[in-house]
Amino acid sequence: MNQVRSTASNISAEIVARAHELGFNGAGVVRAEAIAGAPDRLDEFLAMGRHGDMSWMRDKSDRRADPKVLWPAAKSVLMLSMNYGPSKDPLAILEAPERGAISIYAQGSDYHGVIKKRLKKLARWMVETHSCDVKVFVDTAPVMEKPLASAAGLGWQGKHTNLVSRSYGSWLFIGSIFTTLELPPDEPQVDACGSCHACLDICPTNAFPAPYQLDARRCISYLTIEHRGHIPRDLRAAMGNRIFGCDDCLAVCPWNKYAQQASELRLQSRPELTAPKIAELSRLDDVRFRTLFSGSNIKRMGRDRFVRNVLIAIGNSRCLSLADDARARLGDPSPLVRAMAVWALSRLLNREAYRSLRQSHFDNEEDECVRAEWAQGQNNGG
Ligand code: SF4
């Protein structure tokens, strides 16, 4: 028995060493049945509707909650993390209202591809070297990655609900390899958030009902990336110039300063995505949107939702010079875009100018939501 255990430990150590060679920062093993409390927490989250319209979370909740349901043959799960900490202050862009803030992870090429390549390499090596079966998952799969990564000792789920590591702070991508190998599990890391609540305090939209709980419906990352409809009126102003994602709660984590200076995963930021001009982004049609975001995570959300976000940033800019760009979108084919053009103009124009615009557009507008925006804008003093 001891012999078996020590062999399994050796295999585990070899796999972890190989993972580091391939550029993963953290690697740890967890038993496939290890996250006993996670299904209840997921059920609670879903029952409260905090997943918003991410219906895929509900649809696959039984598989998400239990790796054994996802793949009954799995004995162990190898969890891997990769640091993508930025080299510059990611919050500085928030002081430049004519520019759009894009989340650090989305400023380069699609990270799924980068990680998946490395995961597949490692998985192939595991199959060849240790004669096992494997399945690789990264982010898009129905896997509860954060509790699993936490149980595998890669960090802990911080008060902002993301994974935090003593070595790499809060900037971590997570991936997993399920395997039929029976490997000795690693020890979970102890929560070291202590009395710090910087991530809770900085959240612009109060998306944390309590420490360790997130209401995705209020989170700017969810609203700008996942949410398909109109963004609730009461949350738009707090979005500022964040047009794709939000890094605030990650960026203020004090553990970031202990992260290794150089990120292992050097996501090459594309210069045109680090501080793009919102005026130019508002003019993107579908073809130009697809060209600009070719190979990027952003492309998946589609042009209309993206321009919706850009118009909210224009409305928050206080730059009257951007009113012409918002005005140009009043005839946009997408009601999502037209509605936010109206909202932006209600913020930028004086009462008289807004009224005259409303008079020339309201009667021709057929979409109920856009008409409601025109009316609301007027109520707000437009
Ligand atoms: Fe709040 Fe931004 Fe963190 Fe979402 S990503 S919880 S909006 S600070």
pLDDT tens digits along 100-130: 999 999 998 777 888 889 999 999 999 999 9
Residues 76 and 158 in one domain: yes
pLDDT at 3 over 60: no
Which pLDDT score is estimated for 1? 46
**Global confidence as pTM:** 0.90
pLDDT at 246 over 70: yes
Residues 153 and 251 in one domain: no
pLDDT at 171 over 50: yes
- Ranking 27-31, 106-110, 148-152 by mean pLDDT, the lowest is 106-110
Q: Helix, strand, or coil here: 305?
A: helix
Quote the tokens at residue 234: 């009461």
Please give the average per-residue pLDDT across 236-243, as a whole number: 98
- Please indicate, yes or no, if residue 100 is contained in any of the structural domains: no
Within 10 angstroms of residue 156's Cβ, the number of other Cβ atoms is 20
- For 15-53, give the DSSP string: HHHHHHHTT-SEEEEEETT--TTHHHHHHHHHHTTTTTT
- Cα 271 from chain centroid? 20
The pair phi, psi for residue 76, each rounded to 5°, is -135, 160
Residues 59 and 123 in one domain: yes
Whether residue 126 contacts residue 134, with contact meaning beta carbons closer than 8 Å, is answered with yes
Residues 222 and 310 in one domain: yes
- Ligand 1 pocket, residue 219 CB under 6 Å: yes
- Ligand 1 pocket, residue 162 CB under 6 Å: no
**Among 145, 179, 213, residue at a domain's last position:** 179
139 among known catalytic residues: yes
- Please indicate, yes or no, if residue 281 is contained in any of the structural domains: yes
Percent of the chain whose pLDDT exceeds 90: 72
Angle at 82 between CA 78 and CA 85, to 5 degrees: 160
Residues 260 and 162 in one domain: no
Which pLDDT score is estimated for 50? 75
Name the residue type at position 34: A
Residues 30 and 80 in one domain: yes
Residue indicated by tokens 């710090």 = 196
β-strands 101-102, 242-244 pairing: parallel
Residues 317 and 175 in one domain: no
Q: How far is CA 194 from CA 50, 67, 182, 303, in A?
A: 25, 30, 34, 42
Write out pLDDT tens, residues 316-367.
999 999 999 999 999 999 999 999 999 999 999 999 999 999 999 999 999 9
- Cα 323 from chain centroid? 30
Which pLDDT score is estimated for 249? 98
Which pLDDT score is estimated for 164? 96
| pLDDT higher at 323 or 7 | 323
- Please indicate, yes or no, if residue 189 is contained in any of the structural domains: no
Residues 363 and 229 in one domain: yes
Which pLDDT score is estimated for 37? 65
Instruction: Give the domain extent around 310.
Output: 198-380
Which pLDDT score is estimated for 87? 82
Q: Which of 54, 94, 160, 226 to mutate to test the pocket of ligand 1 (most atoms within 8 A of CB)?
A: 160
The stretches of the chain forming alpha helices (DSSP H) are: 2-21, 38-47, 55-59, 61-65, 67-70, 111-130, 145-151, 198-202, 220-221, 233-239, 248-251, 271-274, 278-282, 286-292, 303-316, 323-327, 335-348, 351-361, 368-379
**Among 147, 179, 211, residue at a domain's last position:** 179
- Please indicate, yes or no, if residue 38 is contained in any of the structural domains: yes
Distance CA 328, CA 198 (A): 40
Write out pLDDT tens, residues 55-98.
666 666 666 667 788 888 999 999 999 988 888 899 999 999 99
The residue annotated as part of the active site, out of 133, 139, 191, 304, is: 139
Write out pLDDT tens, residues 269-302.
888 999 999 999 999 999 999 999 998 999 999 9
Cα 11 to averaged position of ligand 1 atoms, centre (Å): 39
- Among the atoms of ligand 1, which is closest to the Cα of residue 250? 3
> Residue 381: pLDDT band by 50, 70, 90 thresholds?
very low
- Ligand 1 pocket, residue 29 CB under 6 Å: no
pLDDT at 199 over 50: yes
> Residue 48: pLDDT band by 50, 70, 90 thresholds?
confident
- Please indicate, yes or no, if residue 93 is contained in any of the structural domains: no
Please give the average per-residue pLDDT across 7-27, as a whole number: 92
Residues 23 and 112 in one domain: yes
pLDDT at 210 over 70: yes
Give how many domains the chain has, as a whole number: 2
Cα 195 to averaged position of ligand 1 atoms, centre (Å): 19
Quote the tokens at residue 149: 């990564």
**Among 179, 207, 231, residue at a domain's last position:** 179
Residues 213 and 335 in one domain: yes
- Please indicate, yes or no, if residue 191 is contained in any of the structural domains: no
- Please indicate, yes or no, if residue 97 is contained in any of the structural domains: no
Which pLDDT score is estimated for 369? 97
Residues 272 and 318 in one domain: yes
Which pLDDT score is estimated for 56? 66
pLDDT at 34 over 80: no
The pLDDT mean for the chain works out to 90
